[in-house]
Chain A
Amino acid sequence: MLTITDLVKRYGGGDPVLKNLDLTIEGESVVAIIGSSGAGKSTLLRCINRLVEPTSGSVVLNGTELTKLRGAKLRSARRKIGMVFQGFNLVDRLTVMENVQSGRLGYISTWAAIMRRYPKEDIRRAYQLMERVGIAHYADTRADQLSGGERQRVGVVRALMQDPDILLADEPTASLDPKTSEQIMGLLRDLAGELKLPVLINIHNVTEAKEYTDRIVGMRYGRIIFDDLPGKLDQEEMDRIYSGSPHADRSGDLQEAS
């Protein structure tokens, strides 16, 4: 279970990007976070695994407070948080297998990693997952030889190799064509069910969010202003989430949000 309490993130001395945000993710649900660009979706996700340092507040994953961790403790907490990126963030010059195994770096020694001597069970698990998403035949192919959809599958498998307690996906389909994008969303939903894994997805495509997720969280300039079943997201709510300008919201027009 992931519990975010009173989370604030402020870059430099400006207005906060996240304003006293509360969010709880339970069980194995697939949750979509929607909202216009600049609403703080990416920052929220990155505050969870501390790629972005929260200014204040608390993030608790299965009883572990993440915001106070440092060094080795932070790294071992990160092992349990898988992340999928918009730009896939693969290492282009490494093979698919090496990219996939890089999800296990937190578990193996640096020497074993450099020598590419992966544990047998990791290799077996990698083949299983690659088979599951349909990229097993690419194991020895360099990552930059793959198409966008295939590259994102590598990204998903890398995250799952971590044996995570939660999966974060930051616009996982924004760089993909519509058809591939639906395949990836379907894959994320199915894998969440199979692996009993909660998944938190930032997404721009509201239609996909409604179709593939169990719950939708609507963000508007640092606040959550909608949190309900996909069926409850009607046009009026949509307008509320996507209307307004960052400037108006940040400089005093706060009555409706608070």
Chain B
Amino acid sequence: MTSIAEQFGREDWSRHTPKQKARRFAIFAVCAAVIAWALTSIEVVWAWVWDSPTQMGDLFGRMYPPDVSNLGAILRILLETVNIATIATAIAVLMSLPVAYIAAQNTTPNRATLWLGRLILVTSRSVNTIIWALLFVAIFGPGVLAGIVAIMFRSIGFIGKLLGEAIEEIDKRPVEALEATGASRFQVIAYAIVPQVMPTFWAVSILRWDINLRESTVLGLVGAGGIGIILQGAIDTFNWPEAATVLIAILALVIVGEIVSAFLRRRIL
């Protein structure tokens, strides 16, 4: 039996040609150069970096033991934080439905609505929650309302985008079948499209609630309500023991949120 190697005298093989190898090396070198340039262009005070372990120990020393005298107020405002996230998610989910509908190529009424839908999605997604919050604090004044609206604005793009993609990926055959029965546009949506995107709808809503819970904890830093306000106050007044309590409370909240959303995902999906 003659193998290909014996027949053609070939016993060397390489995945890339020399030209490809050179190109891959060049790409790697460019990436390394960019990172090196980025590192040198930021001004790091190295003395502070070497000093950081001492500073960290010092901070922990001042934080310990955490001060729980204000725990009642902290828990109350923590609940407010949860409420901000939940209300904002609920409203955003409802508002993202029509946006997803017009942003999906297969359901949008015409090109104008398609671009309108995409514009809403991009605008909402490209602005960070904190930036939205700064904007709405300026409009509504400091407080919970600004926080809710900020989170809502950011969430509409996220949910709308993922839901729109789910609509574009549905099986079109049931849609054709229901059109053939003489069903109206809305009936086709209700019977052929909605059931198919339901799993995505729940998964995305739960995921966004989980994300919003975290984001609502920092809204207070710009005055948009939630636990961040207390944290900001504690740090500003060098009340480190209370700041420690707030940080632990936030950590606990995030873990609980994670557990709840994992549970919901298992139950619903």
Binding site for B on A (CB under 8 A): 49, 51, 75-83, 85, 87, 89-94, 98, 102-106, 110, 113-114, 155, 158-159, 162
11 contacts between A and B (CB under 8 A): A75-B183, A79-B181, A83-B180, A83-B181, A85-B176, A91-B191, A91-B196, A102-B181, A104-B181, A113-B187, A113-B190
Q: Is the CB of A75 within 8 A of B184?
A: yes
CB contacts between A and B, total, < 8 Å: 79
Partner of A78, one of B173, B174, B179, B187: B179
Cα A103 to Cα B182 in complex, Å, equals 8
Chain B residue contacts of A159, Cβ below 8 A: 181
Chain A residue contacts of B191, Cβ below 8 A: 91, 94, 98, 102, 105, 113
Cα A49 to Cα B177 in complex, Å, equals 11
Q: In this assembly, does B178 line the interface, its C-beta being within 8 Å of a C-beta of chain A?
A: yes
Cα A38 to Cα B103 in complex, Å, equals 35
Q: Is the CB of A90 within 8 A of B184?
A: no
Which B156-212 residues have C-beta < 8 A from chain A? 171, 173-174, 176-184, 186-188, 190-192, 195-196, 198
Chain B residue contacts of A85, Cβ below 8 A: 173, 176-177
Q: Is the CB of B195 within 8 A of A94?
A: yes
Cα A71 to Cα B187 in complex, Å, equals 14
**Most chain A CB atoms below 10 A, which of B187, B190, B196:** B187
Partner of B182, one of A87, A92, A155, A162: A162
Chain B interface mostly:
helix
Q: Is the CB of A110 within 8 A of B187?
A: yes
**Most chain A CB atoms below 10 A, which of B177, B180, B184, B187:** B180
Q: Is the CB of B180 within 8 A of A110?
A: no
How far in angstroms is the closest Cβ of chain B from A56?
Answer: 22
With A87-B173, A94-B195 already in contact, the answer to whether A51 and B180 are too (CB < 8 A) is yes
6 nearest A-B pairs in the assembled complex, by CB-CB distance: A106-B182, A105-B183, A79-B182, A89-B177, A78-B182, A89-B173
Partner of B180, one of A78, A91, A92, A104: A78
With A102-B191, A113-B191 already in contact, the answer to whether A89 and B184 are too (CB < 8 A) is no
Q: Is the CB of A105 within 8 A of B180?
A: no
Chain A residue contacts of B188, Cβ below 8 A: 105
Cα A140 to Cα B8 in complex, Å, equals 66
